[in-house]
Amino acid sequence: MIRRFLALLQARNMEFLRDRSSLGWNIAFPILLVFGLALIFNDGERAIFKVGVLTHSSLEQVDHPILDDPHIEFFVVNNEQEAVRKVRLHKIDLLLDPTAPGRYWVNQQSQKGHFLEIQLLAGSPETPERVEVDGDPVRLIDWLMPGILGMNMMFSCLFGVGYVVVRYRKSGFLKRLNATPTRAIEFLAAQVFSRLLLIMTLTAAVFVGTDLILDFRMEGSYLLLFTTAALGAMALIAMGLMISARVSSEELAGGLLNFVTWPMMVLSDVFFSMEGSHPAIVTLAKFLPLTQLMQASRAVMLEGAGFAEVLPQLAALATMTLVFLLLGAFWFRWRGD
């Protein structure tokens, strides 16, 4: 029995070691992940307070005593109306216009805004103009719920589709299917709508069931939220199909799928806001489908956004779906050898 066990152990180890793509990816992925996270969070511990500074220049060119406080995160904002909206929604704690004699916007229902106001007035040489902004605080669960559902959709869409296609290819099912008149784009489209039906049914059931208990904040249209979720799911499914279009190794497929899921978990506002992060990182995040899904769904749920407000995100998701499907069809391989 021991000899049989050792023979099977050796055979499996040799199979893995001979699969150079899987072996290389298992070495490369953790290294890329560590360096990627180090690059994103190289500024140390994240600040508790966030203050937007209304200016068209860099922060280094702004002269104000409060900017010397190392425990507050300051970042430049150019759009006053958009920044005030974020103060109302508690996305930023205070908005400062540093031009003399100065002006600041604070949400009177924000505890962080209250302490920042005290700090600002204590250090300002002149008393700045105070502008009150009204807006109920968003509960943590209200903000997290779209992220939790979006993360669940991401894993279900990517791994649920990616592994299935790889298994089909490895077992020879795709090879037999290739003998029929079925085209690659038809096969991929069928996979998209099959997974979409399952994902949307399960996600809707989870949303309704938890909403009955926790009573989530919902300011917008349920139909628009459902449409947003459907487009987001289609983009994620199409991405999973594109990744698995030519892969025949389940180990390599897992590595590639992890390579795209981890950046989305970190950069797509799933558990924390990227507001105030480096502009390059914010720009990169916009190319991730989960980012567009999070921005649109939170705008509908928490801000009551209509179709026109979330149209850019919906258009981006639709475009990503089309691009991923076309690339997947172009790269698609029926055989595993």
Percentage, residues of the chain above pLDDT 90: 11
**pLDDT value at position 224?**
93
Indicate the pTM of the whole model: 0.71
User: Does pLDDT of 336 surpass 80?
Assistant: no
**pLDDT value at position 73?**
80
Sign, CA torsion 127/128/133/138? negative
Percentage, residues of the chain above pLDDT 70: 84
Please report which confidence band the pLDDT of residue 312 belongs to, taking 50, 70 and 90 as the band edges.
Answer: very high
Who has greater pLDDT, 179 or 225? 225
Joined together, the tokens standing for residue 75 give 């970042």
107-123 per-position pLDDT tens digit: 877 888 888 888 888 77
Q: Which of 22-31, 76-85, 149-158 has the lowest mean pLDDT?
A: 22-31
- What rounded mean pLDDT belongs to the chain? 79
Cα–Cα distance between 229 and 203 in angstroms, integer?
A: 9
What's the whole-number mean pLDDT along residues 253-259? 80
Q: What are phi and psi of 20, to 5 degrees?
A: -65, -35
CA 228 → CA 13, 153, 161, 239, 317, distances in Å?
45, 12, 20, 17, 9
Please report which confidence band the pLDDT of residue 296 belongs to, taking 50, 70 and 90 as the band edges.
Answer: very high
User: Does pLDDT of 27 surpass 70?
Assistant: no
Please report which confidence band the pLDDT of residue 143 belongs to, taking 50, 70 and 90 as the band edges.
Answer: confident
Helix axes 307-331, 184-214, angle to 10 degrees: 140
Residue 1, helix vs strand vs coil: coil
**pLDDT value at position 30?**
55
Who has greater pLDDT, 85 or 5? 85
**In the chain, domain spans:** 49-133, 140-331
User: Does pLDDT of 328 surpass 80?
Assistant: yes
User: Does pLDDT of 125 surpass 90?
Assistant: no
Please state whether the peptide bond connecting residue 101 to the residue before it is cis, i.e. omega within 30 degrees of 0: yes
**pLDDT value at position 319?**
95
What's the whole-number mean pLDDT along residues 91-105? 81
Joined together, the tokens standing for residue 332 give 């698609």
What's the whole-number mean pLDDT along residues 322-330? 88
200-249 per-position pLDDT tens digit: 888 888 888 888 888 888 888 999 999 999 999 999 998 988 888 887 77
Please report which confidence band the pLDDT of residue 252 belongs to, taking 50, 70 and 90 as the band edges.
Answer: confident
Q: Which H or E run contains 75?
A: strand 72-77
